[in-house]
Amino acid sequence: MNQKHIGIMVSIIIGFTIIGAVILEQNSTPDGLDQNAVTSETLNVLLENKEHVLVVDIRTADEYQSGHLLGASHDALDSSTLEKRVTTIQNRLPDVVSGYNFVLIDNDGSDAKKAAQTMTEMGIQTFYLDGGMNNLSDNLVFSSQTVIESEELAAKLASDEDLYLLDVRQPDELLESKIDGAVNIPLADIFKPNGMDSIPTDKPVVVICGSGNRATIATYALAQEGIDFQVLEGGMKAWNSQVQSGM
């Protein structure tokens, strides 16, 4: 690819990022919203246009499964996980930090607002849905469980259930241990253009990492592609522990 074509592609990517940011910034001023709030109308436009936005539903797993916005992933982002997620994103996904906006969703906007403010203060531009799920009635979808225990996964594999195992660790980490049949796509590659092209949308995808942290972050992108995901609870640490105990 010559320099001219590369320049055009870079300009397009930057343009999409700027458009998404402008829409979010302009959303708050006319309506007198909090500077970190977005309306459901704006969020739907961003998702439909596939702007550089990652939507995370921070309600309980049961609430998420009973109805959530199409394209939203699930991550409780409580006090024990929020800092870990932010640190991992900053260290491993600098292009996501600079090129994406995050939007958090809860029931009424209160918890999401606090989490968004914290993430923004820590260096990741984050917004929240004004009014939360109370302001959403369209584009809701239902899902099965978003995590899977090692024993349950082992049973499914033993019965030859059709699953896609996605390991998002670095290649050298798989040299120590891996689950047979797992496909390795490192976390950073998931967020690259066409990074998810090989991941199926017609079967459950079990996402694997060392502890569950990176796998959960990967679902932020997977959800927007309509991929049916489940995170391996506890990651390979839990899996290896179960293997050693005889499963």
Structure tokens at 18: 């700027």
Q: What is the CA radius of gyration of the chain?
A: 18
* DSSP run (H or E) holding 152: helix 150-158
Residues 6+ apart with CB under 8 A from 32: none
Rounded to a whole number of angstroms, the distance between the first and last alpha carbons of the chain is: 50
Task: Catalytic residue, from 209, 215, 221, 232: name it.
Answer: 209
Residues in the chain: 247
Structure tokens at 45: 């436009």
8 A C-beta contact, residue 143 and residue 236: no
Q: Count the neighbouring beta carbons within 10 Å of the beta carbon of residue 72.
A: 27
Which among 47, 81, 17 is positioned nearest to 214, based on CA atoms?
81
What distances in angstroms separate CA 157 from CA 76, 228, 230, one per listed residue?
Answer: 28, 17, 14
At 224, give phi and psi (nearest 5°).
-70, -20
At 95, give phi and psi (nearest 5°).
-70, -30
Which among 60, 66, 55 is positioned nearest to 78, based on CA atoms?
60
Active site residue 153: no
8 A C-beta contact, residue 127 and residue 119: no
State the catalytic residues.
Answer: 209
